[in-house]
Amino acid sequence: MNEGLTAGGSADALEVARRAVSALETELRATVVRLVAAGAHDEALGELVTGRRVFGWGRGPVIRPVGRAWRVGVLLLDREGRLYRVGEVTRAVEPGRAAVNRSPAGEARRELRRIASRSPFPPGEAINLGWQPLDTAAESLASAAGEAPGPDAGAVRLECRDGVVMLRWDSAPGALGVAPLARYLHDRVELLLDGDR
């Protein structure tokens, strides 16, 4: 655990993180209001459901719609102000003919587009898969500050430093991929709204 959270420092660090989370929640609500008012383009959140057999008939895999969110850089933001780590993105389009020299990764992407085109999404819809909710609890943000992420943490995570919620999108040692989350969201929302005009 972080040195700042041991004994006497833990209560102070946790209180600082709670204030930072409160400010973050206010910022996220204001961002959602702004995106809704501007009619900003959002994208589908989907979940891949494997095929199953019903009365002996096989049913192939489908992508089930589970919500919508705005893509703001390496994050997704839904209408309730929840943040998600971006995963894989596909489109609901019937894949065209494949090239002769196909890579396994390219074939997997083609198959995902085929599944998406047969799922309940409008043609051409961008669908986010494999997204993961980001933990915005004060306890998690306070304990994450200054620590190396675990093997399952993913590259994108939040931490609290000096009372500011920070977004880290590159967890390599010495990496520069870190910024105050409020500033990052502001910049990315500006880009999103400029792209919608």
pLDDT of 110-128, one tens digit each? 899 999 999 999 999 999 9
Answer whether residue 149 shows pLDDT above 60. Answer: no
Decide if pLDDT at 65 tops 80: yes
Q: Which residue has the higher pLDDT, 56 or 93?
A: 93
pLDDT band at 2 (very low <50, low <70, confident <90, very high): very low
The whole-number pLDDT of residue 154 equals 54
Total number of domains in the chain = 1
Rounded distance between C-alpha atoms, residue 34 and residue 17, angstroms: 25
- The enclosing H or E element of 109 equals helix 104-117
Could you tell me how far CA 174 lies from the centroid of its own chain? Answer: 23
Mean of per-residue pLDDT scores for the chain? 86
Q: How far is CA 34 from CA 42, 70, 94, 179, in A?
A: 13, 12, 34, 21
How far apart are alpha carbons 184 and 182 in whole angstroms? Answer: 5
pLDDT digits (tens, 9 = 90+) for 26-41: 999 999 999 999 999 9
Instruction: HSE, CB side, 13 Å, CA atoms: give it for residue 104.
Output: 0
- Predicted local confidence at residue 4, as pLDDT: 41
Structural tokens at position 89? 């993105």
Residues of the chain with pLDDT > 90, as a percent, come to 60
Please determine, for residue 96, whether its predicted confidence score (pLDDT) is greater than 90: no
Q: What percent of the chain has pLDDT over 70?
A: 83
Which residue is listed with tokens 């993961």? 132
The tokens for 36 are: 């809704």
- Confidence class for position 55, pLDDT limits 50, 70, 90: confident
pLDDT-derived band at 21, boundaries 50, 70, 90 = very high
Q: Tell me the residue range of the domain where 66 lies.
A: 3-196
